[in-house]
Structure 1
Amino acid sequence: MDPHNQKPFEVHLVTSTDSPEFTLLSRTLTQTSIIGLDAEWKPVRTHQTSFPAVSLLQIACQLSGGDSVVFLLDLLSLPLSSLWEPLREMLVSPDILKLGFRFKQDLVYLSSTFCSHGCEPGFDKVEPYLDITSVYNQLQPKKQGRIASKQTKSLSTICGEVLAISLSKELQCSDWSCRPLTEEQIMYAAMDAHCLLEIFKAFREKVAKEGELATGLSYPGANLGLKELFKKDDTCDKVLRTQFCDALAIVQATTCSDVTQVITSVGGRTQKSSCWITMPMDEFLLNIVKKHGDRILLKESDRKPKTSKKKRKKPLPINGNLKENHLDKFDEWQGISPWDPSVGGDGYPRFLCDVMVEGLAKHLRCVGIDAAIPYSKKPEPRELIMQVQKENRVLLTRDAKLLRHDYLANNQIYKVKSLLKNEQLLEIIETFQLKISEDKLMSRCTKCNGMFIQKPLTTEEAVEAAKGFQKIPNCLFNKNLEFWKCMDCHQLYWEGTQYHNAVQKFVDICKLSD
């Protein structure tokens, strides 16, 4: 799919039930058959005794003309008691296919958030539901005679492969409880939900092209009257087991318009419930749901934060001494850095950023620090250890499992505490007392970590160096710019607007102008 052919979509921030945005949301939900769901919350540390509170709920709606609109429900401003019943019915409406990316965790947190505001019992089911991971697996080419392996890729990776767009996840761990939300946060949250619709659209086009689903497979008996329906033995048995009060509620629900109040009787008690009166799915979508649809069903055990029940292993003796609090020694940096001249180093700091902090590696390179990444995309712990020891580096990670390996001394590994890249950069600079100067900014190749040539290239030299390798925009030829080449991967850089913006960014982050 060509990213340039993607249509723009509307984004509405809903902060009040009396707002035009909420009215538009109510009307849109009666006219859509497909929605994408996502949620955001303030990042929390592990081992919490309660679930984090959801701050934002994203609902992306597919409109009949192919356009889409995304509603961002600000759960810190909206009265949750007013939202609870409509959302419950939306999540189980048989006329709306719900799309999500590993949405079960979101549902657990969402249910907990509403329960904490007195909206018992929260949410326990989403149906019909289709996970985008499952959609992605269906989009993969089938190999003859072999069962395709199930892929567990990130949403960003799936977007890159299916939609040919880059979905940045840099704001995923930002503080979603702060108000007002920034423009970047709003667009990030909206895109996370909107891309679910676009990925499903690609899947729907594939199904239509391959003619995978036969027509005329709507619900059996959908067009039959009650008399004909009761002639079928199995159907008759099911209908007779349905309570009359439930049947009455169904009849009443089909006659109300938009969002109304339906009176039902449960166990002799009369209660009111709101309902979204939606348009039924078209036959093609209905068949997709019948073949590929799923549901999320929360158990009672899902409603409580899981605590580890593993028995703590007894500390093992090392060289006759009992080893205690093995992981505690990595909470703070200890010992001498392997590049320290006193232990045979050259004095230049070198790091190895594992896959969990690869973004930090690029930030370190931008301020002139040697920051490598693993040789392979999915390295084994042994590979990381060998690379660290071979190149005299300090391993930076957020993976607590790596801290259990005794092959790394306490001056060869450091657990990064911060979540955001800018904060991680400042943490490493402060922890290792790195000296950052403005003349070192953008002095390394952000692509491969290589150093630039000492002397800049002229335009003519850059054109010659770029032949068959890299295209230089024609607009740069008359600007008398200096070009720099990476000595390792031969990537060319020039001091354009992007370069100056990057320099200013890191001047501000590192407070070099103070």
Structure 2
Amino acid sequence: MEGESRKPLAIRWVSSTDSPEFTCFTRALSRSSVIGLDAEWKPHRAQQSTFPTVSLLQIACRLASDGSTRRQDESLVFLLDLLAVPLPSIYQLLKDMFGSPDILKLGFRFKQDLVYLSSTFCSQGCDPGFDRVEPFLDITSIYNYLQHKQPGRKTAKEVKSLATICEETLGISLSKELQCSDWSLRPLTEEQKAYAAADAHCLLELFNVFQIKVIKEGNSFHNIKDLGFSHLDLGLKEILKQPYSCDKILRTRYCDAVEIVQATASSEFYLRIPMTRGEISKKSCINTAPMDDTLSQIVRKYGDKIRLKESDRKPKTSRKKGKRKFSEGSVQKERQLESSDDWQGPPPWDLSLGGDGCPKFLCDVMVEGLAKHLRCVGLDAAVPYSKKPGTRDLIEQAHREKRILLTRDAKLLRHEYLLKYQIYRVKSLLKNEQLLEVIETFQLKISEDQLMSRCTKCNGRFIQKPLTTEEAVEAAKGFQVIPNCLFDKNLDFWQCMDCNQLYWEGTQYHNAVQKFIDVCKLNE
């Protein structure tokens, strides 16, 4: 995550139950009433016959201090390497954590993660796997609550991504570039670890915003203080002797009665009463303290649960009714399209076709990040006019502007008859690798003086002559803020001719130049 004032995440990599990191993990669980959950696995096809194996489990713990005063900015993120840790050795610990009534679990569409986790542990002899997470709170519910409470703003009907929710609620950018990387490979890069940790930690950040808002608005919870007792340290027998106390207790809910009993118990002994009927479960592997009043009230009012049914444990491989079945020939054609790795034919900018010799690309929404990388090395890379372009829109723009359409959508290759030699399917997942793939496929020549010669914001060209500091200040009025620290450095400023964005050759510029020198291997 990006943010100038944010502290680096405290990340612990857990690859053995004998390690200090694992000891730290179990200790953190005993001090946490709120945790964020996420999981990663190797990308797979939706219609494969088995569930993917979960490679990594991320658990972000919001810690309470030893003095029982919670500091919401104190947190740790644990990355459990499920390919290295023997799964039977942590099965009971995780099962107790998922079911502990003293720990609120946060997640974003976590049911699928739980299905895959359960399958992964079952494959290692931990039968029957995991079947529930309770209490649970989905981040989408938190987002909808925060949006609904803003006057004059309607909650959007479409389901927002986690990155969008973080952007709108926290004002931070959550990069999803590494989402589809191969999480089964070891060792993971530091970038992958940071990405995985951020995905879990942001759940705690979102919950903090939600909790503060709930408390600030003073939601009408039934609190034991509302019963009107001035001496909560009295025993239950003494409380019952107070005038009208019996009527008040009889009118309250069962869960509030539990609070009364817990509040009247001495500080050295807590009488724990199960919140649901049935026998008290066996001793948990996690020795956790009970939730505080505020958190337990939030759980009762907003908490949910995930329960897996037998049907959830089987991959859905059958097609929906009424869906058109492909013939053998069409299936074969699809496979040929997806497996076609070689670029064929001259590109539209080829001089023999009447082109100007300048490579031009159109990156669809699936490779929009690649467009910025192409611009950084001086290549003309446009994006669709619309945020949600249709296939016809992409084809028309590529044809009209004589661009090669770059995509990761194999279905677009069906339209190659409309755009002959103008569609290319990018195979790589990461932007740096995608950039090298395009350069090598189309045999493009990149030189150092081309780097950072285009506007990364709009793809425009820079003015020929650099601006002085005075000219840059005048051009930026009412449009862009130039940091005061740049005025004494005698820097050259460059302005985009299309969107008027100003750039200067500062530290970020030099770092970017060096990065693309290394990526494009210009020093070799």
**Same fold by TM (over 0.5)?**
yes
1:270-281 → structure 2 map (5 Å cutoff): 274-281=284-291
> 1:422: Cα distance to partner?
0.8
**For residues 428-448 of structure 1, what are the alpha-carbon distances to aligned partners after superposition, in whole Å with 9 as ceiling and x for unaligned?**
112222222222111111110
1:53 aligns to what? 53
How far did 1:61 drift?
A: 1.4
Which residue in the other structure is 2:375 paired with? 365
Rate the CA distance shift 1:174–1:3 in 2: closer, same or farther, 3 A. same
Instruction: Select 2:200's aligned residue among 181, 193, 197.
Output: 193
Cα separation, 2, equivalents of 1:435 and 1:86: 55
Q: Which moved more, 1:445-454 or 1:48-57?
A: 48-57
CA–CA distance in 1 between the matches of 2:375 and 2:9? 36
Establish whether residue 10 from structure 1 lines up as the match of residue 46 from structure 2.
no
Alpha-carbon offset, residue 476 of structure 1: 3.0
SS at match of 2:255: coil
Find the aligned partners of 2:200 and 2:99 in 1 and give their Cα distance.
Answer: 19
1:438 corresponds in structure 2 to: 448
Q: Distance in 2 between matches of 1:378 and 1:293?
A: 35
Contact 2:147 2:153 in 1 (8 A): no
Paired residue for 2:300, among 284, 287, 290?
290
Counterpart amino acid of residue 219 in structure 1: C
CA shift for structure 1 position 51: 3.0
Alignment counterpart, residue 219 of structure 1, candidates 233, 236, 255: 255
Match of residue 435 from structure 2: 425
Counterpart check, 1:495 vs 2:505: yes
SS in structure 1 opposite 2:124?
Answer: coil
2:118 counterpart (111, 121, 140): 111
Q: 1:323 to 1:398 in 2, by over 3 A?
A: closer
Q: Which residue among 89, 93, 98 is the counterpart of 1:82?
A: 89
Change (3 A) 1:366 1:377: same
Deviations 1:413-461 (A, max 9, x none): 2221111111111111122222222221111111100011222223333
Structure 1 residues 404, 370: CA separation in 2 closer, same or farther (over 3 Å shift)? same
SS in 2 for 1:39: strand
- Kept in 2, the 8 Å contact 1:3–1:163? The answer is no
Which SS does the other structure have where 1:40 is aligned? strand
The answer for the alignment partner of 1:325 in structure 2 is 333
CA shift, 1:33, in A, is 1.7
Q: Distance in 2 between matches of 1:144 and 1:407?
A: 51
Contact 2:103 2:291 survives alignment (8 Å): yes
Q: Which runs of 4+ in 1 moved over 6 A?
A: 143-147
Q: Which moved more, 1:98-107 or 1:2-11?
A: 2-11
User: Residue 71 in 1 paired to residue 78 in 2?
Assistant: yes
Q: Give CA deviations for 1:8-35 in whole Å, capped at 9, x if unaligned.
A: 6533222222223222322322232211
**Residue correspondence of structure 1 range 228-377 to structure 2 within 5 A:** 242=278, 247=279, 250=281, 253=282, 262=283, 274-307=284-317, 309=319, 311-314=324-327, 325=333, 328-329=336-337, 331-332=340-341, 333-377=343-387
Equivalent-residue separation in structure 2 for 1:4 and 1:506 (angstroms): 24
Contact 2:9 2:197 in 1 (8 A): no
CA RMSD of aligned residues (A): 3.0
Q: Which stretch of the first structure deviates more once superposed, 100-109 or 179-188?
A: 179-188
Rate the CA distance shift 1:301–1:337 in 2: closer, same or farther, 3 A: farther
Provide the TM-score with structure 2 as the length reference: 0.81
Q: How many residues end up aligned between the 2 structures?
A: 468
Q: CA deviation at 1:207?
A: 1.4
Distance 2:310 2:371 in 1: 42
1:329–1:410 CA contact under 8 A, matched in 2: no
Deviates more, 1:423-432 or 1:9-18: 9-18
Distance in 1, matches of 2:331 and 2:35, equals 54
Gaps of 5+ in 2: 65-69, 224-252, 262-275
1:218/1:286 contact within 8 Å kept: no
Instruction: Write out per-residue CA displacement over residues 333-357 of structure 1, whole angstroms, 9 at most, x where no aligned residue.
Output: 3333222233332221111111111
- Map Cα deviations across residues 133-174 of structure 1 (whole Å, 9 max, x no partner): 221111104588997344422222211211112222233333
3-state SS, counterpart of residue 325 of structure 1: helix
In structure 2, relative to structure 1, the CA distance for the partners of 1:497 and 1:142 (3 Å cut) is: closer
Q: What SS does the aligned partner of 2:39 have?
A: strand
Q: Where do 1:99-178 residues align within 5 Å?
A: 99-142=106-149, 148-178=155-185
Judge conservation of contact 2:79–2:197 (CA < 8 Å) in 1: yes
Give 1:43's aligned residue: 43
Q: Helix, strand or coil: the match of 1:279?
A: coil
Task: State how far apart, in whole Å, the 2-side matches of 1:328 and 1:408 are.
Answer: 18
Change (3 A) 1:167 1:324: closer
C-alpha change, 1:467 and 1:30, in structure 2 (3 Å) is same
Q: Contact 1:349–1:370 at 8 Å: present in 2 too? A: yes
Structure 1 281/296 Cα, relative in aligned 2: closer, same or farther at 3 Å? same
Deviates more, 1:378-387 or 1:274-283: 274-283
Could you report, residue by residue, the CA deviation over 1:286-314 in whole angstroms, capped at 9, with x for unpaired residues?
33223322222233343344335355335
Deviates more, 1:418-427 or 1:19-28: 19-28
Distance 2:411 2:302 in 1: 36
Match of 1:265 in 2: none
Q: Contact 1:55 / 1:75 at 8 angstroms: preserved in 2? A: yes
For 2:178 and 2:150, the matched residues in 1 are separated by 37
Whole-angstrom distance in 2 between the partners of 1:135 and 1:218:
26
Q: Distance in 2 between matches of 1:24 and 1:501?
A: 37
Tell me, in whole angstroms, the C-alpha distance in 2 between the residues paired with 1:513 and 1:4: 32
Pick closer, same or farther for the CA change 1:311–1:70 going to 2, 3 Å.
same
Question: Which is worse superposed, 22-31 or 447-456?
Answer: 22-31
Q: Which residue of 2 aligns with 1:461?
A: 471
Name the SS of the counterpart of 1:91 in structure 2. Answer: helix
The one-letter amino acid paired with 1:290 is R
Q: Tell me, in whole angstroms, the C-alpha distance in 1 between the residues paired with 2:26 and 2:170.
A: 29
Whether contact under 8 Å (2:416, 2:422) holds in the other structure is no
**Given residue 325 of structure 1, which amino acid in structure 2 is its aligned partner?**
K
Look up the SS of the partner of 1:469 in the other structure.
Answer: coil
Q: Partners of 2:325 and 2:501 in 1: how far apart?
A: 50
**Which of 350, 358, 378 does residue 388 from structure 2 map onto?**
378
Distance in 2, matches of 1:35 and 1:162, equals 19
The answer for unaligned runs of 5 or more in structure 1 is: 226-237, 254-261, 263-273, 317-321
Residues 323 and 393 (structure 1), Cα distance of their counterparts in 2 relative to 1, 3 Å cut: farther
Three-state SS of the structure 1 residue aligned to 2:333 is: coil
Within 2, Cα distance between the matches of 1:150 and 1:115?
37
Contact 1:457 1:484 in 2 (8 A): yes
Q: Distance in 1 between matches of 2:315 and 2:420?
A: 32
